[in-house]
Amino acid sequence: MKRAAMLAIFSVGIGIYCLIPYLWFALTSWKSPAELTAIPPKLIPSFHWDFYRSALEERGLLRYIANSIIVAGTATGIAIAIGSVAAYALARFQLPWTNAYLLLLLAISMFPQIAIAGPVWNLLNHLDWLNTYRGLVAAYIALSLPLATWILTTFFREVPHEIEEAALIDGCSRFQAFYKIVLPISTPGIFTAALLVFINAWNEFFFALIVLTDPNLQTLPVGIALFPGEYTMPWGEIAAASTLATVPLILLTLLFQRGIVRGLAAGAVKG
Amino acid sequence: MRSSHRLAFLFLLPSLIFVGLFAFYPIFESFRLSFYRSILTLPWLGQKMVGWENYTDLWTDPVAAQSLRTTVFFVVTTIPLELGIGLGMALVMNEVFRGRGLLRAIVLIPWAIPTVVSSQMWRFIFNDRYGLFNFVLFGGDASRYLAPLADPILAPLTIIVAEVWKTAPFVALIVLAGLQTIPDELYEAASIDGATVWQQFRHVTLPLIRPALLLALLFRTIDALRVFDLVFVMTQGGPADATNVLSFYGYKKIFAEGMVGYGSAIAVGVFLVSLILSLVYLQILKSSRLERTPR
């Protein structure tokens, strides 16, 4: 019984640690302006939607959300398409430098953003891609490819060779074998990889900050970080925007928890 | 070249193009730029090769020295906290009890929240007038309220709290994956031999999760070295450069002041430090996997 009590205490502790700071902030978004600055703070708000209204109508939150969906969605789609073809080659063709290449990708994923930011900015500037969706999407594809390739290679290696070999003997080309047989079998893996890439792209801040300076094109993290207000911070609107940016992610995470943990572990433990 | 190799190359080509253009070329270009004087706001000066000048300037720049100290302080304080809390969480989540699945899901929440959002969240909690932090410490007595984000000693600590809160759960997940590979028989054998819970942890658990811990250590160190979002949102490097970490300093030099050459020298510095550290960790990791025998 002592063990059960201790586990309960620790579990509640972990739950408080993970939830309370965020709940406090999310609940702020439903407060009225008077409740926002009240001392002692009101824990349970009176569920006003005013901050949401002003964030959406006056501060163009909808545009940031749309930009984020476009950029993160496109980058995820292309990165998974390119990454799965590459991962198939790494998993199936017995290439002498497969492991070296995977290690190289791992090294890239550890690059500090600042170490490549200046030249990436220059490159996009030369292409005239600054302040365009495609500029940021291109950068995100490159930054997600290490993670996507690692996870997908791990998944493709688990697909048995036999079915595919039968198809090859029947006259399928390598590419047909890949997209008609291996791809459908690996749907869960591809979904996991896509989810992790999407979450990363949705949350990315550094490159979004330097590539998009036009407020009409900026993504949610940039919008939330640069919320205007020199003297009085619009905390209610910031909390409302933050909640809208986070709730979809939390839902995705809770729904696909097993897949995410497995994907993270595949990327991490086999490193 | 064998035909299958040519085909493999074709399969890899699209990803090679992206990674080449947006990761490899930029890293070499940063190295090159760090040997030039190139100032965006003075484009008529062009790019002038100045040899090691940016690096010698960096060496004598007091702001860079403080920035390095701030970054190192951030790394060496956050990592032990994250590993400690993460290990504790993982040990609890590895036990069998009702609600374990729910707990494992809840732990993912800080990990999933965008860093910009968690930064604004902590900035609000540490607010000097109506933040939760002040209320918890001083209750309704507003005369004693602190302004942690404007205090050169407290501001770095707020960034540390925000970082640890968000990333300890990630450590927990990696360690949990390590814990799940330990067969129950080992614990049964140990308790038959009369080992206490502490002895089991010390001589069974700890040696077997060493690779997972080292891996978490590697990822967290590299990530902490390049911390940027938290500083940008919470303090903008202030007050008085107290939170001006290397990534933020480099960002300011390149993108706010247009000092591309000098900023690139900072960027190369951050890159080399994280490269050397990851090589050291990988070496330790490799040797720890070879000598699996628990001590």
pLDDT, tens digit, 9 for 90 and up, residues A88-140: 999 888 888 888 888 888 888 888 999 999 999 999 999 999 999 999 999 99
Which pair of tokens denotes residue A35? 């409740």
Q: Where does residue B275 rank: exposed (0-12), middle (13-18), buried (19+ CB within 10 A)?
A: middle
Q: Residue ranges per domain, chain A?
A: 25-32+45-269
For the domain made up of B25-290, give the CATH fold: MetI-like fold (1.10.3720)
Give me the pLDDT at residue A267, please: 58
**The CATH homologous superfamily of the domain defined by A25-32+45-269:** MetI-like (1.10.3720.10)
Distance from C-alpha of B9 to C-alpha of B50, rounded to nearest angstrom = 40
Is the CB of A18 less than 8 angstroms away from the CB of B113? Answer: no
CA-based end-to-end distance of chain A: 40
Query: What phi and psi, each to the nearest 5 degrees, are found at residue B192?
Result: -65, -40
Angstrom CA distances, A26 to A35, A52, A239, B230, stand at: 14, 12, 6, 19
pLDDT band at residue A222, thresholds of 50, 70 and 90?
very high
SS3 annotation, B230-291: HHHHHCCCCCCCCCCCHHHHHHHHHHHCCEHHHHHHHHHHHHHHHHHHHHHHHHHHHHHHHC
- DSSP character at residue B95: S
- Which residues lie below 8 Å from residue A62, measured CB to CB, with a gap of 6+? A56
Whole-model pTM: value is 0.91
Distance from C-alpha of A181 to C-alpha of A161, rounded to nearest angstrom = 10
Distance from C-alpha of B179 to C-alpha of A264, rounded to nearest angstrom = 15
Q: Residue ranges per domain, chain B?
A: 25-290
Angstrom CA distances, B221 to A20, A228, B50, B248, stand at: 27, 33, 32, 17
Give A54→chain B minimum CA distance, Å.
Answer: 18
Is the CB of A143 less than 8 angstroms away from the CB of B23? Answer: yes
Closest of B156, B7, B170 to residue B83, by C-alpha: B170
Query: What phi and psi, each to the nearest 5 degrees, are found at residue B259?
Result: -85, 80
Query: What phi and psi, each to the nearest 5 degrees, are found at residue B10?
Result: -60, -40
Is the CB of B18 less than 8 angstroms away from the CB of A138? Answer: yes
The amino acid that residue B290 corresponds to is: L
Which pair of tokens denotes residue A159? 């697909």
β-partners of residue B37 are B48
Is residue A230 pLDDT above 60, yes or no?
no
Most confident of A157-161, A263-267, B248-252: B248-252
Question: Which residue from B18, B110, B177 is facing A18, i.e. has the nearest CB?
Answer: B110
Is the CB of A257 less than 8 angstroms away from the CB of B108? Answer: yes
Is residue A259 pLDDT above 90, yes or no?
no
Contact A192, A263 (CB under 8 A): yes
Contact B124, A22 (CB under 8 A): no
Distance from C-alpha of B166 to C-alpha of B250, rounded to nearest angstrom = 24
pLDDT band at residue A268, thresholds of 50, 70 and 90?
low
pLDDT, tens digit, 9 for 90 and up, residues B85-130: 999 999 999 988 888 888 988 999 999 999 999 999 999 999 888 8
Give B119→chain A minimum CA distance, Å.
Answer: 9
Which pair of tokens denotes residue A237? 């609107």
H/E stretch holding B37 reads strand B36-37
pLDDT band at residue B246, thresholds of 50, 70 and 90?
very high
